[in-house]
Amino acid sequence: MNLKVQFTGLLQSPVSWARVSRELLTELAELKDIDLAIKPCRGWLWNKNIRLNKTLTDRLGEFSNPDLRLMFAFPPQLKNYHDDSIPLYNLSVYEATVLPENWVTALNHYCQKILVPSRHNLKLYKNSGINSEKLALIPYGFNPAFYSPLPAASTSRLKLLTLATPHFRKGLDLLLPSARLLKQSNISWKIHLPYSPRPGKSQFWEDSTIIQKLSHAGFELSTGQLSDQQVRELYQNCNLVVQPSRSEGFGLVILEAMASGRPVITADWGGHLDFSGPGMITVPGQLRPAKQCQYGSQRPGAMVFEPDQQALSETISRLISTPDRLTKLGRQALQTIKNWSWKRAAQKLSKQFQKITV
């Protein structure tokens, strides 16, 4: 008898957790021991133009009596979906070293399982007071059929790429000293942000001035929601991806860039170190108070990582001076992450589900 799994959550949005849900559910639906029903919800940056694939639309609906409920929900909202008779499994990710107190309370109280994507998260969730018996590691992945490792276009100019939200934790301000490379070297550098903070209405973790600063420094700036296909094309049209994040719970952009055969420069701290290896070039730094870098980070002891700006600039400069090495590193990146598929993630998740029947 198949397990009836009811998913409720945000799917039609460019945010990472909606993309994680779309990909994971698509693979979960293909497993023979799972019956899946999907109830999409609206949320941050909801966009009706983001189409769900046929696998997902064929499963839209609700079970009257599911065996378990699966979500990727903001923990304080879990109380709205809790039912003592239905086990609740919640995908969850955080970036600073300490969870907000209301997250800990909600996750411990409402969830049978808390599904985190990295050892980095396992550690910080346990240290924050989450019941370790509730935690399970479900790494994210990529679709090998989608992220084709095509060679970068052969041009006389190297192309760098950064994809990030305009949040302090993404470290976009750390790129400003590297703007000198735009004049000293034959490169272009595209930075894409999914949205612009609203003037006078930005959240404390959003850097409302970063777009103006980056544009003034000479970077090629673009904003707006992109389809998965458009994101893939950005990877394929660059030679090197630079992601200077101060904190990443997993680092989906880093994984997808490597899956596209592109080397990535990033910080030497965070969830992405689970899949570190040749093709991922890490920059040293040190822990610092989270402050405005993370929502909910006012809890004492919350820390993030501060990559060394000089080391970041020197690493970028060194790599762009050896274009042939970038090609080799891109091939190595693809080999480093070749086993990190969504299919594997779905299989691991299914094993967690089956435990409720034991």
Give the whole-angstrom CA distance, residue 226 versus residue 229: 8
Has residue 147 been placed in a domain?
A: no
- Whole-angstrom distance, CA of residue 301 vs CA of residue 314: 31
Question: Is residue 146 a part of any domain in this protein?
Answer: no
Same domain (yes/no): 353, 249? no
212 shares its domain with 318? yes
pLDDT at 229 over 50: yes
pLDDT the model gives residue 348: 97
The residues with which 115 forms a beta bridge, in sequence order, are 91, 136
* Residue 157 token pair: 């100019």
- What Å distances lie between residue 199 and 206, 225, 249, 284, CA to CA? 11, 18, 28, 34
Range of the domain at 226: 158-336
In a domain, 97, yes or no: yes
Residue 137 within a domain: yes
What is this structure's pTM?
Answer: 0.94
Residue 106 lies in a domain: yes
Tally of domains in the chain: 2
For residue 134, being part of any structural domain is answered with: yes
Identify whether residues 232 and 313 lie together within a single domain: yes
Strand runs (DSSP E) across the chain, as ranges? 3-10, 34-41, 68-71, 88-91, 113-116, 135-137, 158-163, 187-193, 220-223, 240-243, 264-267, 280-283, 285-289, 303-307
pLDDT in tens, 81-113: 988 899 999 999 999 999 999 999 999 999 999
Mean pLDDT of 170-199: 92
Instruction: Based on the fold, state whether residues 104 and 174 are members of the same structural domain.
Output: no
Do 233 and 191 share a domain, yes or no? yes
User: What percentage of the chain exceeds 70 in pLDDT?
Assistant: 97
d(CA 33, CA 42): 29
Indicate whether 187 and 273 sit together in one domain: yes
Distance CA 8, CA 254 (A): 27
Q: Residues near 96 by Cβ (< 8 Å), separated by ≥ 6?
A: 124, 247, 290, 293, 294, 296, 297, 302, 303, 304
Distance CA 255, CA 306 (A): 21
pLDDT at 358 (0 to 100): 44
Secondary element (H or E) of residue 331 = helix 323-336
Rounded (5°) CA angle 234-239-245: 75
Residue 52 domain-assigned? Answer: yes
Specify if 151 maps to a domain: no
| Model pLDDT, residue 246 | 96
Which residue pairs from 225-233 have beta carbons closer than 8 angstroms and sit at least 24 positions apart in sequence? 225/14, 225/45, 225/47, 225/50, 225/194, 225/195, 226/14, 226/192, 226/194, 227/50, 228/19, 228/146, 231/163, 231/256, 232/146, 232/147, 232/148, 232/256, 232/260
- Name the residue with higher pLDDT: 154 or 318: 318
Name the burial class of residue 37, with classes exposed (0-12), middle (13-18) and buried (19+) by CB atoms within 10 angstroms of its CB.
Answer: middle
According to the 3-state scheme, what is the secondary structure of 189-251? Answer: EEEEECCCCCCCCCCCCECCCHHHHHHHHCCEEEECCCCHHHHHHHHHCCCEEEECCCCCCCC
Confidence of residue 118 (pLDDT cuts 50, 70, 90): very high
pLDDT score, position 153 = 64
* pLDDT score of 298: 67
Same domain? For 187 and 325 the reply is yes
Do residues 116 and 190 both lie within one domain?
Answer: no
CA–CA dist 241, 236 (Å, integer) = 11
> Do 180 and 212 belong together in one domain?
yes
Cβ of 55: how many Cβ atoms within 10 Å?
16
Least trusted range by pLDDT, from 140-149, 243-252, 303-312: 140-149
**Same domain membership, residue 216 and residue 123:** no
Same structural domain, 99 and 203: no
Measured distance CA(241)–CA(190) in Å, rounded: 10
Residues 346 and 278 in one domain: no
Is residue 357 scored above 70 in pLDDT?
Answer: no
Q: Residue 14 above 80 pLDDT?
A: yes
Least confident of 80-94, 125-139, 144-158: 144-158
**Rounded mean pLDDT of 318-343?**
94
Q: Quick one: tokens of 143?
A: 């679709």
Tokens of 28: 């979960």
With vertex at residue 25, the alpha carbon angle to CA 23 and CA 31, rounded to the nearest 5 degrees, is 115
Average pLDDT value for residue range 287-299: 80
CATH number at residue 303: 3.40.50.2000
